[in-house]
Amino acid sequence: MFNGKGIQQLLKANEEVLSDLVALEAILNHRFANMEEAIRCLMLSAASGEAMLLVGPPGTAKSRLIRVFCILTNILEDDPGGRNLQKSGLHEIKRDSKYFTYLLTQFTEPAELFGYFDIAALTGTQPELKKLDEHSMQRARIVFLDEVFNASSAILNALLTFMNEREIHDRGKIFRTPVQNVFGATNFVPDGAELAAIYDRFLLRCRIENEVAQPDNLARLVKMGWTESYAPGRMLEKDDQIRDFPNLLDGLLEMQGQIGTLAKKGELAIDTGSKLFGELADIVQQARDQELTEGSNRRIIKFARIMLFNRMLTYASEGKFEVQSPAVTEEDLLLLIRFGLDRPDQTLFRTYQKKFGLSKSGPWGDQNGPWKSPDRK
């Protein structure tokens, strides 16, 4: 799908960053039971900067996963575990301006996200219209919006530009924000036309289900959940697993810039003659025919970039930083089915998994790992 030596240059230049991303993925998989799919989706979102939506019933650790990711990347302070109760009175919890999280309802006002107007500034000797936005959404680096589809139309419309261009419009002016990642969570997939636009902004979608009621599964779930809730430091067995990644987000941002530079030089260009486009066209048409997605032009273009990040992450997990292999393979095309459809479809996934000769893996297969293919080296 890509030609040139761009991927080799990216792998060599970002060996440390990609290695950290692989290590972070392993730590999260060690802390969260049977969430390999969601964690790989999170890694791709972090690497690409594209918005990710977690879909699942209440109590499936959607918000906890994002919180731990932010703790390990030093966006949030460490969580000691358990519940720290005050003996008396109210205790203000310090908010970090680098992280913004909010539970949205139909009654949430735009000012709760973007900041309130300073009333005191209007009553002074030199009145001015000023916003108190120190801890607002547009000041954050990581944004997590829980139950995002419950928001009012005013908020949803404002989010369209915010998520796509990372900009906000305020009193006739346009402001660029420092937001690097937008994560969302919901208990349901929207089906109304009024929510289609905001749903489309979440390029990556991952479904999380409650654990299967089997003894081994539930034992692992309770053990990991108990430790994660009350003693997260004891979750990791090896000393080298007890670490954080303070420079990872900066490194990923730099890697995103390198992709643009290589593309402008023609060293990371699209190979229109690649046979993968025939397979991709077949997948998109099948998904459209089955009304699983409209497969918009924007989504297809952006998923080519997601496939590239997935391939680099796969090579990094195998320790291959000087490979001469393809930048994208058939295995990466399955990302569109796994994380890109409006509705998940196991049959479509299995059809192409069998066609490409890949092992059964992930939530619809065995336990070989979310993207492992033992038949491929």
The residue ranges of every structural domain in the chain are 2-12+253-364, 17-78+96-241
| 190-234 per-position pLDDT tens digit | 888 889 999 999 999 999 999 888 898 889 889 888 888 887 755
pLDDT of res. 203: 97
Check whether domain 17-78+96-241 has CATH 3.40.50.300, yes or no: yes
* Listed residue (110, 90, 111, 103) closest to 156, CA to CA: 110
Q: Residue 68 in contact with residue 80, Cβ under 8 Å? A: no
| 223-278 per-position pLDDT tens digit | 888 888 887 755 555 555 567 899 999 999 999 999 999 999 999 999 999 999 99
Spatial CB neighbours of 206, under 8 Å, sequence gap ≥ 6: 37, 38, 41, 52, 53, 54, 55, 338, 339
Q: Which residue's entry shows tokens 């998923």?
A: 303
Model pTM?
A: 0.89
